[in-house]
Structure 1
Amino acid sequence: MDIGKLALLGCVSGMALLASGPALAQAVPDPAGGPTAAAGADESRSDDIVVTANKREQRLNDVGLAVAVVGGQALQNQRVSSLADLANIVPSLSYTNSANGTPVYTLRGIGFYETSLAAYPTVSIYLDEVPLSFPATTRHSVYDLERVEVLKGPQGTLFGQNATGGAINYIAAKPTRDLRAGIDLSYGRFNEVIGEGYFSGPLGEKAQMRASARIERADGWQRSNSRPGDSNGKVRNYMGRVQLALQPTETINLLLNVNGWKDKSETQAPQAIGFNIQNPFVSSLVTNSQLSPERPRASDFTPGYTRADNRMWQASLRGDLDLTDDVTLTSISAYLDYKQDQADEGDGLPISTLDLPSDQGRIKTVSQEVRLTNGSANRLRWVIGGNYEHSRIDQEILVDYHDSSSTTTLGVVFGYPIANSFYYSYQRKRNYAFFGNVEFDVLPNLTLKGGTRYTNARASTRSCNSDRTGIADNVGPFFYNILLGGAFGPYKSGACFQINDQPTEIGGVAPGAPGEYDATLKENNISWRGGIDWKPRPGLLLYGNVAKGYKAGGFPTVSSSSFVAYLPVRQESVISYEAGFKAELLDRTLQFNAAAFYYDYRNKQLRSKLNQPPFGILDILQNIPKSTVKGFEIELLARPTRQLTVNATMTYIDAKVDRFVGINAAGVAADFGGTRVPFTPKYQVGVNADYDFPLSRAIDAFVGSSMNMRSDTVSVVGGDINPATASPQGKSLFGIDSYVLVDARVGIKSQDDRWRLSLWAKNLFNTYYWNNVVAAFDTIGRYTGKPATYGVNVSYRI
């Protein structure tokens, strides 16, 4: 019997055991101490955790889904300020730093590693149910939050396509009817200074306001291997959010949210750990380059190629209108504007075998959702609605490879030592959908659930690879004079030189001719969910769900010599089978949750490589026909005393590619059936403990620690196989080793929690670890995690 079936059998057996046990009382109070699926009881309590996983407020233990919740105080205690930090404390969530800083996240083995600005994720991100549709826009939203909800498994019926892995919902702290304010100041290693504050209160009888801001400043933490004293990784981030809540009548509630951020930090450089030379003639600058020491801070970079000046702002308006005492009409309108201007170090060397001196882009998104919802007290609860999104995504990239083996070889063989090129992708996306979801209490303790969504998606692109200089020894003339044999005359600066290698005309470009790639992709799908919730006794919920979700197809943003690399990747789908339980035990001092799942993963979207002589391996998007993900999660949340809270989680995931023959992102051509799905550790274990105790009548002390263990994984499909031409061969070049991270905190606070003073440490034992390995043409580079950081924090509330 395989592990997936064994896990499902064990989960069902656990359900039967718990269902036959004695009735136990009430729920665990929210410890504000880490991700938890705790709380909830048959009677509402002030310490119950409330979530909006079904787009209505419900106690967490009434929701028959696997949901991890991190409270606002836990986010502050564990210094969670980004998706990368969140992934370190939420089981089965993995964060990957990409080559251009675009965050990539994988949940239960469902992820899409693609660095284009226009790439949709497989895990959707929301701020108060307002979509942050593209990963680049999600970088700086984790501040002044009430909580974070992580919904696991396909969420297509209520959260739409592009939620095949799940959805993450940031819940911002809301305006208050009484006057409140707070400030947090922190100083740490690398001269890190972080300041965060908020002000909230009434503007009259029917209006409230909340303003919050955060500033992050730090020196560089990476050190150049070739230039002693030169550093990288400087942090300069600025974030702000203003909310205005209005109640013009007893039946209308409005919430205006205007938020944004500016990022002027230095982009991270990879750590060069191997070579995979693509062409026979190589510059001595490459062969004489030294690989990086395997230490957390070690790296190298070309001066001026690690800069950023990016910004995003978003405005949303939510309106809730009570049409009757039992039916509410909700409208959520939003506009988002993101602008990117950065440079990216690609090869981890002080030379340029592959660097991006300029990576500019713009995202503009308009979204609208309208839905009707009835009251939560009804025996039949329903949600019906629709939404619309239109996005414009432009990206322009200048790539510098003047030290690469391609430049040297083409110079020696053809007399064209090509050195750089400019490519762009101008994309438009339009989606509309209609959805419905119902829950029906067949019996007081038995609920049937179902939902569906129809989505219609349209994406178009204009993509081009060009040469802006047009000088005689550059890439444009090489294409026109050599590859095209002069058939189209001399090259004109700025013309698209990639060749239509497809059998039909595309966008007016005939087969065999050069030109701009212009195409449109139209898709539609129907997501659905069905399930059952059973409460055999108070404090115990057993649930089972079957769901199918989709992720939209799309076009890549790549530098290529032919149209084959611009072809779209088709939509992927996941069918999920899941069973689990949530149990409150020992007079609500122990919460025990477990879930087992099996995913049938079809047409997984994959960034891989294409061999395009005489250049070598270049990027392409492909679909993997079939993959399988199976596993289970266990969580225990205990509060044995009023002072001690312990949260422990364990996740097992077996994610395999069943069928795929092609070239992986490392440039290896093989049959990859049976290989591991990237960025998915088989085992993850997390433990968080917090202990508070009085020092005097007015002052308490606290101490806490977190441990997160992840087993090894790979960064590419077939990552256990090194390219035959790569060096050194004595290690897994595309492997991600297992690691354990330990954080700690200790401090004092007032008994009313108005002020706190603490010492903190992250990655306490200075563990060397990395979350990604990328083939950057001639080099192989790791993206390492930060070394040990530590500091002091003070906070005050009124």
Structure 2
Amino acid sequence: MSFASLLWLAAFSRAAGAQESTVESGGTLEEIMVTAQRRAESINDVGLAIQAFDASKLEALRVDSVADLTSVVPSFTVSQSYQGVPTYTMRGIGFNTINLSATSTVGTYVDEVAYAYPIMNTGPLMDLERVEVLKGPQGTLYGRNTTAGLINFITARPTDAFAAAVSADVGNYQSYNVGGYISGPLSERVQARIAVRSENSGEGWQRSASRGERLGEISKHGVRASLAIQPGDSTQIDFSATYWRNESDTVAGQGIGFTPATANSPFNAPGLVNFIRSNPPDDATDADWAPESVRSTDIGVGVGLAGPLRENNPFTGLKLRIDQDLSDSVKLVSLSSYNEFEREALFDWSGAPYEILVQKATGKIRSLAEDLHIEGATENVNWLVGAYYAQDEILDSNRTLLGQNANVSLIRTVGLPLLGTPFNCCGYTAADLARSFRTYEDVGNIDTETWSVFTNAGWRLNDLFKLNAGVRYTEDRQDYRGCSRDFNGSMLPNVNVVNRALFLQNYGILSAPISAGQCHTFDPVTGTFHEIVSTLDESNVAWRASLDFTPADSTLIYASVSRGAKAGTTPINPANIARQNAPVKQELLTAYELGLKATGADRTLQTNLAAFYYDYEDKQIGTYFADPIYTALTRLDNVPKSQAYGVEGDVTWEPVKGITIAATALWLQTEVQDYMGTNAAGQPQDYDGAEFIYSPELQGSLSLLYLRPLRNGLNLEMTLNGRYQSKSNTIFEDIDLYKIPAYGVANVSIGLRGAEDRWSFTLWSRNVLDKYYWTAVASNANVVVRFPSPPRTYGATIGLKF
């Protein structure tokens, strides 16, 4: 396919809603206002690749979560890690990690407040005014790790007049959701709004292949209270408090194969190989996990994990924004925020009814931030200058249960002949060794501090050209303390006998034995087991320059170059060797983009196009460490040099009043250019030429929205939405087990809406064709498991407005 053909294809096939459209008199597209550059302006006047969706479009397309955005923003993908932490990728730029403490390349914001950690987005979405998706580095105005782009959720504000609404869903899997808001004035200068949302399902969509159990029940509840205060004509105060709790089931993995080290291992649990071979998943509902009767039973000092496979994650968010006019054209803005997230969750990603890997994840994030800036505008110049400070405190802990993992059985067997040697420091017996290595704990404490100063300005040079420029200087500091450590004495026999012997063989060092509760992460430099302590202190300069060319009122052509940075981070891994928990340094991305926005056919057609090239330095990845005992274990690493480039485009067309067609497409190429890493077999491998993970070559979506007036103010509404992506990989290596095949998913709804939008009734279905597909594949060091997306769901929604 020629480059010109690709441009044509992209121009006529991008995201549903890449330009927000609503039906109005004459069948024209309504212009949408956005705050992508932290000031209100028309989306068609902003020289950035942006998609925006207002509340009505989000409702029509049933976007109820961050993951649902992928159906209308196909260049954005979400994959679920086995510990429930989402991995966000935009235009191929992502960071694959399971850690609660890791930030994403795609920044997420709520009312311009950074939700720096993706786990903070796992609650219910409530009462949104619109969503803005910005592509490419956004570090000058937003900072906080936005090398790929950002998503800003703008919540609905309190209103001057009374308004209220309520909606209720019922559907399959015994699902029922309720949401609504009430808004209005408390006095002449004070307005308030309260929004609530509850999402529930009483029947899980995953079924055990070996017994009559299910997983997948949903229980999410949230509330947000907002106040708008005008103490004087020149002052605006906005305060909001958000609370939600997620008590949903965790998702089980589907066992599909084995790691290279265990594929032919005699140490696999009896019957495990036959189970995996006899139960290949062919449906999203197929899965299995260890029975609670197995994992909850204490075996000697190996304490089990009891309770349902479920989350218990509360979140609290506070925001205070003060806008103070200093003059008619200058304003001071203070944005203060505090976010707190806690987690206690039980996961089983064994992929089979065996105790291969069960984990209890606990953690806490406290995030305090202040953004202070002054902004102003004259007839031809707008400008902004400010400072930002944030402080985060994070505890990330995982207790693992793996008594039937092949690696555990191997270590127990290797240790038997060592019991009669001087390595048996403490008189362990064969029975002690047979019960050892059932459970341990990975713990990390991370304190992060970041501050920055920034400025941005736009100059209207003449009627044709506008120059935009911005720069931000940032300093980040991260202090880390953590290790893998014994839990209740379970690790003592295998660490003190087997590990010490093998470390002597590999490193020539005989270390002192550990005691109960002590770190068992080994440091070859000091020859001891100890807690790992590190400090990552970095600085960077993010910048952007662009030139906008407006040859006509309906056309904008822009060219930009920008640089963004994602701060370095330290992992929390099952660390046998200290280097596994070494930090990775910051990554840098320089982006070049040429774009077009054009409105035509009497404002019934909007076409947007962007071609981009990304020069990527020190890309952060989750990969493998060649371990002297366990072959390959997880770590983080930097890829020195890589690149991504592509073409993205969209068309929104309203050929007649009441019919809106929106299409989108992304053609993407990604390539590692310089990286020697370690593969899943623990062997060195040259990854030059490898594609990025979770980065399909082709992605696209199509939405058809139909509105037909009937009589007496009654309207018929129909929506059809579909998304497609070509095949992609979940690791750099070309291994079939780890691939995600090409797939397409369709959603549909039909309903009636009453006069003046007072009531509505809708029938809907997501994944209406019941397509079996998955978004992630991972290894638990024994079994390779995939994580499917839900099967077909359907139901009905009734809504009332007052």
Alignment partner of 1:298 out of 281, 286, 293: 286
**Which residue of structure 2 aligns with residue 786 of structure 1?**
790
Whole-Å separation in 2 of the counterparts to 1:472 and 1:449 = 59
Aligned to 2:272: 286
Q: What secondary structure does 1:289 align onto? A: helix
Give the structure 2 partner of residue 17 of structure 1: none
Distance 2:738 2:499 in 1: 37
Q: Is the counterpart of residue 482 in structure 1 residue 501 in structure 2?
A: yes
Map 1:400-411; keep pairs closer than 5 Å.
400-411=401-412
**Structure 2 counterpart of 1:36:** 19
Aligned partners of 1:666, 1:99: CA distance in 2, in Å?
A: 21
Larger CA deviation: 222-231 vs 149-158: 222-231
Which of residues 438, 441, 448 is equivalent to 1:419? 438
Cross-structure match for 1:551 = 566
CA distance in 1, matches of 2:236, 2:543: 31
CA distance in 1, matches of 2:785, 2:682: 14
TM-superposed CA distance for 1:353, in Å, is: 1.6
Alignment of 1:557-572 (within 5 A): 557-572=572-587
Alignment partner of 2:468: what SS? Answer: strand
Q: Answer whether contact 1:348 1:781 (CA < 8 A) is retained.
A: yes
Match of 1:496 among 519, 524, 533: 519
| 8 Å contact kept, 1:239–1:262 | yes
Q: TM-score, normalised by structure 1?
A: 0.91
User: Structure 1 CA distance, aligned partners of 2:29 and 2:274?
Assistant: 65
Of the candidates 228, 233, 245, which is equivalent to residue 228 of structure 2? 245
- 1:374 counterpart letter in structure 2: G
Counterpart Cα distance in 1 of 2:328 and 2:5 = 44
Q: Does residue 1:323 correspond to 2:326, yes or no?
A: yes
Letter in 1 for 2:778: V
Give 1:219 shift.
2.8
Q: Which moves more between the two structures, 632-641 or 247-256?
A: 632-641
In the TM superposition, what are the counterparts of 1:358-373 in structure 2 within 5 Å?
A: 358-373=360-375
2:716 paired with 1:697: no
Aligned partner of 2:270: which letter? Answer: S
Q: Residue in 2 aligned with 1:60?
A: 43
Q: Which residue of 2 aligns with 1:29?
A: none
1:795 to 778, 799, 802: 799
Corresponding residue number in structure 2 for 1:391:
392
Residue 472 and residue 295 in structure 1: after superposition, are their counterparts in 2 closer, same or farther (change >3 A)? closer
Question: How far apart in 2 are the matches of 1:10 and 1:739?
Answer: 23
- Residue 623 of structure 2 corresponds to residue 613 of structure 1: no
Maintained 8 Å contact 1:246/1:255: yes
Aligned-residue offset at 1:101: 0.6
* Structure 1 residue aligned with 2:781: 777
| 1:580-595 equivalence runs, <5 A | 580-595=595-610
% same residue: 31
Conservation of the 8 A alpha-carbon contact between 1:665 and 1:716: no
- Equivalent pairs, count: 754
C-alpha separation between the residues in 1 aligned to 2:539 and 2:762?
A: 52
Q: 1:692 to 1:10 in 2, by over 3 A?
A: closer
For 1:344 and 1:667, locate their aligned partners in 2 and report how far apart those are by CA, in whole Å. 26
Work out the CA distance in 1 between the residues paired with 2:545 and 2:331: 24
Aligned with 1:146: secondary structure? strand
Q: Does 1:269 align with 2:241?
A: no
| Unaligned 5+ runs, structure 2 | 23-27, 293-306, 417-432
Q: Distance in 1 between matches of 2:789 and 2:7?
A: 38
Offset, 1:88:
2.0
Name the residue aligned to 1:96: 79
Q: Give 1:27's aligned residue.
A: none
Whole-Å separation in 1 of the counterparts to 2:204 and 2:660: 34
Q: CA RMSD in A?
A: 2.3
Summarize deviations over 1:474-515 as a string: whole Å, max 9, x none: 44434675356795544311111211124xxxxxxxx21111
Superposition map of 1:511-660 within 5 A: 511-660=526-675
**Partner residue in 2 for 1:677:** 692
Report whether the alignment pairs 1:760 with 2:764: yes
- The equivalent position to 1:150 in structure 2, one of 133, 152, 158, is 133
Q: How does 1:161-200 map to 2 (within 5 A)?
A: 161-200=144-183
1:142–1:170 CA contact under 8 A, matched in 2: no
Tell me by how many angstroms 1:625 deviates: 1.2
Would the aligned equivalents of 1:140 and 1:239 in 2 still touch at CA under 8 Å? yes
- Describe the shift of the 1:474–1:184 C-alpha distance in structure 2 as closer, same or farther (beyond 3 A): farther
Report the counterpart of residue 350 of structure 1 in structure 2: 353
Residue 156 of structure 1: SS of its match in structure 2?
A: coil
Q: Give distance in 2, aligned partners of 1:422 and 1:474.
A: 16
Residues 340 and 365 in structure 2, CA contact (< 8 A), matched pair in contact too: yes
Higher relative contact order (CA 8 A, sep 6+): 2
More displaced stretch, 780-789 vs 405-414? 405-414
- The AA in structure 1 aligned to 2:449 is R
**For the structure 1 residues 7 and 111, does the alpha-carbon distance in structure 2 shift closer, same or farther, using more than 3 Å as the test?**
farther
For 2:329 and 2:216, how far apart are their aligned partners in 1? Answer: 53
Cα distance, 1:332–1:46 mapped onto 2, change above 3 Å: farther
Shift of 1:35: 3.8
CA distance 1:245–1:487, change in 2 (3 Å) = same
Q: Is the 8 A contact 1:50 1:59 kept in 2?
A: yes
Classify 1:472/1:206 alpha carbon distance in 2 versus 1 (closer, same or farther; 3 Å): closer
Residues 77-96 of structure 1 deviation map (CA, whole Å, 9 limit, x = unaligned): 12111111111211310111
Residue 157 of structure 1 aligns to a residue whose secondary structure is coil
Maintained 8 Å contact 1:97/1:783: yes
Inter-partner Cα distance in structure 2 for 1:473 and 1:286? 27
Deviations 1:511-556 (A, max 9, x none): 2111100110100000010010111011111111100100000100
* Alignment of 1:139 onto 2:122: yes
**Distance (Å, rounded) in 1 between the aligned partners of 2:653 and 2:388:** 41
Residues 456 and 469 in structure 2, CA contact (< 8 A), matched pair in contact too: yes
Structure 1: which 5+ runs fail to align?
15-31, 40-44, 503-510, 722-731
- Which residue in 1 is equivalent to 2:425? none
Q: Which amino acid aligns with 1:734?
A: Y
Partner SS state of residue 119, structure 2? helix
The one of 724, 740, 743 equivalent to 1:739 is 743
Q: Which residue of 2 aligns with 1:259?
A: 242
Specify the SS of the correspondent of 1:733.
Answer: helix
Deviation of the 1:671 alpha carbon:
1.2
Q: What is the deviation of 1:699? A: 1.1
Q: Which residue pairs with 1:126 in the alignment?
A: 109
| Residue 615 (structure 1) shift | 2.1
Instruction: Compute the displacement of 1:379 (Å).
Output: 0.6
Q: Summarize the Cα distance change of 1:450–1:37 in structure 2 as closer, same or farther, 3 Å threshold.
A: farther
Q: Distance in 1 between matches of 2:759 and 2:682?
A: 55
Deviations 1:170-227 (A, max 9, x none): 0001100000000010001101101011000001000000100100111343433433
Aligned counterparts of 1:488 and 1:583: Cα–Cα separation in 2: 69
Asked whether the 8 Å contact 1:406–1:616 carries over to 2, the reply is: no
Residues 384-428 of structure 1, C-alpha deviation per residue, up to 9 Å, x if partnerless?
Answer: 101000000101111111101111111111133422211100000
Query: Is the alpha carbon distance of 1:479 and 1:157 closer, same or farther for their aligned partners in structure 2, counting shifts above 3 Å?
Result: farther
**2:295 matched to which residue of 1?**
none
Structure 1 residue matching 2:523: 3-state secondary structure: coil
Find the aligned partners of 1:33 and 1:676 in 2 and give their Cα distance: 27
Aligned to 1:21: none
Give the C-alpha shift of residue 561 in structure 1.
Answer: 1.0
Question: Residue by residue, what CA displacement relative to the aligned partner does 1:615-645 show, whole Å, maximum 9, x if unpaired?
Answer: 2321100011111111011111011111111
Is the contact made by 1:336 and 1:364 (CA closer than 8 Å) also made in structure 2? yes
Is the Cα contact below 8 Å between 2:16 and 2:701 reproduced in 1? Answer: no
Q: Is the Cα–Cα contact under 8 Å of residues 29 and 654 in structure 2 kept in the other structure? A: no
- In structure 2, do the counterparts of structure 1 residues 33 and 111 end up closer, same or farther at CA, with 3 Å as the change threshold? closer
Q: Distance in 2 between matches of 1:558 and 1:168?
A: 29
Paired letter, 1:434: V
Secondary structure of 1:167's match? strand
**Distance in 1 separating the partners of 2:713 and 2:457:** 50
Question: By how many angstroms is 1:142 displaced?
Answer: 2.3
Q: Measured at CA, do residues 472 and 336 of structure 1 come closer, stay the same or move farther in structure 2, by a change above 3 Å?
A: closer
